[in-house]
Amino acid sequence: MTEPYYTWQTFETTLAGEPIRWTGKPGLESWDALCPSTRLLAEELSSVGPGQRMLDLRCGSGVCGALAARRGADVTLCDDSIVAVEATRRTLDLNSVSGQVLHGQPCEGPEPLQDFDVVLLDAPRGREWVQYLLAIAAQALRPGGKLFLAGPNRGGIRGYIDDARELVGPCEVTRVKARHRLAVAEKEPGPVENLSYSQEVCEATVRGQTIRFVTQAGVFSQGKLDAGTRALIETMVIRPGESALDLGCGCGIVGAVAAQMGARAVCVDSSAVALRATHATLELNGVLDRAQVLASDCASAVRAMRFDVIAANPPFHQGLGVEYDVAQQFVRDAAHVLNEDGRLYLVANRFIRYERLMSELRGASRVTTAYEDNRFHVLEAVG
């Protein structure tokens, strides 16, 4: 794919006194520049050397992992985003180093990864999600191992440092740069409570029926059905036998409802925790036989398929900022995979105007506002 969104670019800079190359593209947080948190983590890596085992729980573009691998460390690099996973693989190749790269967290299966000397965490948004990742770090570290925790002041890093003290061990700030902090925690000896995914089963009444869905920390609108998705579900028209794409599926409730309405549904998301929640939601509602769940950067995994209906609640945040690259690519990808007489339903905050871009859909005869209230509107494009 040669579209700008899917075009990988190569960058080079000096990181912790060493030249480093990395790859990035839209859809990856801080894709064309290294954020202060990354630089703080890289500076702390001076203590990581040959033979040490390092785990990066949010590897992003993979530069910290590449730097540690160059110094002889045995690195395992994880990220919830499939885009970050691909970026990391490319960055390792660019720097002629290797490491294990995982989509999701290393706590799955009967034998979770353990006994790491160092764990890195560039803290994301959301305290419950950070606490979950800190619990993973506590499980993964050997006694006496170190957690390097970094993040922006306005992102809540002070509270996360307090959480690290409780979940991992003694934790102190060691570096400060550009309103970001890095703290180092030392894993205390003793047993660690077994991790669970802490999935929560919720209920909502939509289209006159009660439907159950699964959420967890790290999934959009954890613990409830958000008003925008509710408006999308109430508005979309799906006929038995049609094919439906739940684009950016989150907890999977849109795909589950589509399958209940008789569609053959495909649910895609870039997030590993979202895909896990979606699979659980489909299973909970007895529609796994009529639905498929795929990891996908926007609609890249289904570009060879065609759909009668596409429903989407596009994201417009990257980290703490506002970013429309992914949302706009949702619309462009929909143009590619929508049947000529198909229907795209897109919900957004009223201040976000996607009408012009949607009107550029190949063969779209009209774009209308199918629903509107004081917060959201659902736009419908008909081919």
**Which domains, and CATH codes, for the chain?**
4-21+31-186 (3.40.50.150), 200-382 (3.40.50.150)
Q: Which tokens is 199 given?
A: 């999935």
pLDDT of 321 above 60: no
Sequential DSSP letters for 194-207: PP----EEEEEEET
Q: Which pLDDT does position 323 carry in this prediction?
A: 66
- Average pLDDT of the chain to the nearest whole number: 91
**Helix, coil or strand: residue 338:** strand
Mean local confidence (pLDDT), 165-172: 96
Q: Which pLDDT does position 316 carry in this prediction?
A: 67
The DSSP secondary-structure symbol of 289 reads G
Name the pTM for this structure. Answer: 0.93
**Region class of 30: left (phi > 0), else alpha (psi between -120 and 50), else beta:** left
**Region class of 10: left (phi > 0), else alpha (psi between -120 and 50), else beta:** beta
1-10 pLDDT tens trace: 678 999 999 9
Distances (CA, A) of 307 to 263, 311, 354, 383: 10, 10, 20, 12
Question: Which amino acid appears at position 254 of this protein?
Answer: V
65-102 pLDDT tens trace: 999 999 999 999 999 999 999 999 999 999 999 999 99
pLDDT of 194 above 70: no
Mean local confidence (pLDDT), 352-381: 82
